[in-house]
Amino acid sequence: MSELFDAVDALIAGHAPLPQPGERERLRKAHGLTQEQVASALGVRRATVVSWESGKTEPRPPQREAYARLLDGLAALYPAPPVSRPAPAAGEAAAASPTAASTQAVPAPVPGREPTAAAVAAGPEPAPAAARPPRTMVRRPAPAKATTAPAVSDPRFANGPLAVVAIEDGHPVAYCVGGLVLDVPAKSVPALVDWTLNEAKLGASRLNGAGKDADPLIVLTPAACERYGLPVRLSDEERTSGRLPEGHKVSKQLARADWQLTRRGFGPWARIYRPALGGKRACVQLCIPSWDALDTRSWGDAGQLPAPELARVLGTYATRVITPRGSTAVTGLELMTALHPPTRASEPDGAGKRHSQHNPGSLGKEPVSCAPCEAPDGHPLLADLPRFHQRTPAEMLMEEAYDWARPLTDEECTKRYVVGIDVNMAFAAAANGTAVGLGAPTQLRNPAFDPKLPGSWLVDLSHIELDDRLPSPFTPRGERPTGPAWYATPSVAYAVELGYQVTPVEAWVRYDSGRYLDGWYNRLRDAYMTTMADLGVTTDLTPAGFLAAMDGHRLRDPQMATVLSAVKATVKGGLGKLRERPRGESWKPGEPWRALSRPTWRPDIRAAVISKARTNMHRKMLKLADATGQYPLAVLSDCAVYASDGPSPLDFLPYKDGKPLPGGFRLGVSPGMVKHEGTQSTLWAESVHEQHGRDENIARYIKDGHVTRTDNGE
């Protein structure tokens, strides 16, 4: 009979009621216990306790009975605080229990204190708690300042766009956006891919209804690489080729499981896929930081961060910009396509079927040839040019950012400081509102200039005479043009704005045009502004308050500062990819290179944005010169340096009643506004010119004053 009673007791114990998952965590913390301590006492892994406290899984016998007894004992020591209830309406009976009406103080937790077995055994039986269904995720507090992730509206991607897989207590776990942690049951790379696609609920919804959902990204820590049979670091030979050898065991595992790799193979950014079936994609992106997947120029030391912090950095970037698919430059280009997919579904035909058709406003599915003047050296269009031929401005479009400097005047030498100001997101701001060509160019002879028509124009602007204390707006080096040259539409339009006659002799124009980059700008602007707000720099600050907020803003949250750098690198890198040059020793001048096969290889779009950024800069410098008589000493891309009596931009930028000069430089966080780049003494500027030449660009070194150039120009 006693055996029957024991069996019944075992059944009851096996289904002992447990508190709600959130209450389990509260009770543990109230007693000062760590998850490791509880796991050790119950003979399980810490990740298992994490799962119990989140409701992802429920304990099973024999641990369930012991866990229930532990929670019962803790509940007796630390009762839950009373729940406030609304007062009953008039005439209603308010039956309040003595227990609910009483208020009981909760003792402070005692760090390191563990309940004795006797205390646990003596704990009273709590009221049965409502059962909670298991969840598929665990939420842990973020290791640094929390970053709010946007609400996930698509249940397919409930756990966010990506996960960083690490090894804890010998088992793989995946850190996701917002502090989520998932147990990873996969024991091989093919199994990891299957888990990612079928169970992990990772990925991101498309940014355009005609586009594709973002593939899930899995980031492997060094320990995870070892766990899944991958090298922690690539050999010199593998680093040179950019991939593992085709015969590597992991590549063979993938092949046996019918997974394929792209032409890039298994490298730092590996794409593992199966051909789409029925329009359903099956693709996972891998990122391996220890293989130098995260370029330090864009991501700083993000590749060295612990898994939870790396998940925060990459996850924040992914939710605000797009899930990374390679370098920030590659990602910047992918963002353009994601916002303007090349095709869309047609209306149903007579049989009710839909077909793929061109998506208006996109660059299309097929690449288009550039104009000969827009082609960089070595392009197949230039194959007939004599070897070592140096193309002139009349043969080649040379729209590049400023690199100009001049000597100080005697009056400027009397001022104590040289102060640099830098335009925020200058190239992104220039992309906004710029009409660019969407298709192939058309050649015109002796055309009338049309500022609304994007393209390249051969025109002589050498007759335009401006103050030589300003750089010319028509050449990157700031020199006055000496004859006919090719210009993008914004440059010629600015000449007209200045009141000069222009007479093009030739043009390559694009009649199919649109503001292709507006959505791209808006997405990156919002990411930039949100991240700056995380760092304490907002749009409601006064000029002085803005300068104060910018002082040390990157130190307030280094992880968000990393996101900020990556967002900026996405802008410049994405625009640079529009004119990507050949890479690899096998290429020969006159032969096509891989980038030419992309619809997004568009040097004319890059030229238009740079042209507008440079003319925007000149317009502001001219406004300041006309209003105050102050001229820049040097300009490098989006940074201008001025002589000043004081060390702050407010010492030379005109503000009246807190308002800036209309059309001039304005301090603030928004793209197109300026920030303080750096201040050095006038003596420092003169010494740079004495040592390195009067035309040395001090804007290059204004930030910290350290001159990296050597006397031999290297």
537 has a pLDDT exceeding 70: yes
Domain stops at, among 326, 352, 374: 326
Domain assignment present for residue 247? The answer is: yes
Structural domain harbouring 322? 138-326
For residues 595-599, give the mean pLDDT.
96
How many whole angstroms separate alpha carbon 55 and alpha carbon 220?
26
Domain assignment present for residue 380? The answer is: no
Q: Are residues 44 and 187 in the same domain?
A: no
Residues 374 and 488: beta-carbon distance below 8 Å: no
Which residues partner with 355 through β-bridges? Answer: none
User: What string of DSSP letters covers 536-574?
Assistant: T--TT--HHHHHHHHTTHHHH-HHHHHHHHHHHHHHHHH
Greater confidence, 551 or 120?
A: 551
For residues 444-451, give the mean pLDDT.
97
pLDDT at 102: 35
How many whole angstroms separate alpha carbon 270 and alpha carbon 326?
9
Closest Cα to residue 324, out of 162, 529, 149?
162
Domain assignment present for residue 372? The answer is: no
Residues 615 and 594: beta-carbon distance below 8 Å: no
* Residue 271: other Cβ atoms inside 10 A: 19
Domain assignment present for residue 95? The answer is: no
Q: Are residues 163 and 205 in the same domain?
A: yes
- Strands 217-220, 162-168: pairing kind: parallel
Confidence of residue 149 (pLDDT cuts 50, 70, 90): very low
Q: Are residues 267 and 158 in the same domain?
A: yes
How many whole angstroms separate alpha carbon 362 and alpha carbon 340?
5
Q: Are residues 117 and 166 in the same domain?
A: no
Tens digits of per-residue pLDDT, 238-292? Answer: 998 999 998 999 999 999 999 999 988 999 999 999 987 766 779 999 999 999 9
Q: How many structural domains is the chain composed of?
A: 2
pLDDT mean across residues, the chain: 87
Domain assignment present for residue 333? The answer is: no
User: What string of DSSP letters covers 227-252?
Assistant: HTT--SS--HHHHHHTS--TT-HHHH
CB contact set of 67 (below 8 Å; sequence gap of 6+): 18, 42, 52, 59
pLDDT at 65: 81
How many whole angstroms separate alpha carbon 80 and alpha carbon 54?
18
Tens digits of per-residue pLDDT, 356-413? Answer: 899 999 999 999 999 999 999 999 999 999 888 999 999 999 999 999 999 999 999 9
How many whole angstroms separate alpha carbon 703 and alpha carbon 676?
9
Residues 534 and 560: beta-carbon distance below 8 Å: yes
Q: Are residues 243 and 177 in the same domain?
A: yes
237 has a pLDDT exceeding 50: yes
Q: Are residues 261 and 186 in the same domain?
A: yes
Identify the burial level of 32 via C-beta atoms within 10 angstroms of its C-beta, where 0-12 means exposed, 13-18 middle and 19 or more buried. middle
Percent of the chain with pLDDT over 90: 71
Confidence of residue 77 (pLDDT cuts 50, 70, 90): confident
Residues 430 and 610: beta-carbon distance below 8 Å: yes
- First-to-final CA distance of the chain: 94
pLDDT at 103: 38
Q: Are residues 170 and 29 in the same domain?
A: no
CA-angle at 554, arms to 551 and 560, nearest 5°: 145
pLDDT at 133: 34
User: What string of DSSP letters covers 451-470?
Assistant: TTS-EEEEEE-TT----TTS
How many whole angstroms separate alpha carbon 447 and alpha carbon 452?
13
What Cα–Cα distance (Å) separates residue 478 from each residue in 419, 485, 665, 678?
Answer: 20, 14, 19, 22
Which residues partner with 495 through β-bridges? Answer: none
Confidence of residue 492 (pLDDT cuts 50, 70, 90): very high
Q: Are residues 118 and 143 in the same domain?
A: no
Residues 507 and 486: beta-carbon distance below 8 Å: no
pLDDT at 361: 95
452 has a pLDDT exceeding 60: yes
Domain assignment present for residue 485? The answer is: no
Q: Treating both helix axes as pointing N-terminal to C-terminal, what angle do 328-339 and 518-534 enclose, rounded to 10 degrees?
A: 130
Q: Are residues 168 and 299 in the same domain?
A: yes
Domain assignment present for residue 697? The answer is: no
User: CB pairs under 8 A, 24+ apart, for 348-355?
Assistant: none
Phi, psi torsion values for 191, nearest 5 degrees: -65, -35
Q: Are residues 118 and 166 in the same domain?
A: no
Domain of 113, CATH number, reads: 1.10.260
Q: Are residues 269 and 146 in the same domain?
A: yes
Residues 504 and 449: beta-carbon distance below 8 Å: yes
Q: Are residues 74 and 165 in the same domain?
A: no
Domain assignment present for residue 209? The answer is: yes
User: Poorest-confidence range of 67-81, 114-128, 315-329, 663-677?
Assistant: 114-128
Greater confidence, 351 or 622?
A: 622
pTM confidence score: 0.79
Percent of the chain with pLDDT over 70: 86
How far, rounded to the nearest angstrom, does the alpha carbon of residue 473 sit from its chain's CA centroid?
A: 32
Domain stops at, among 293, 326, 359: 326
Domain stops at, among 326, 358, 382: 326
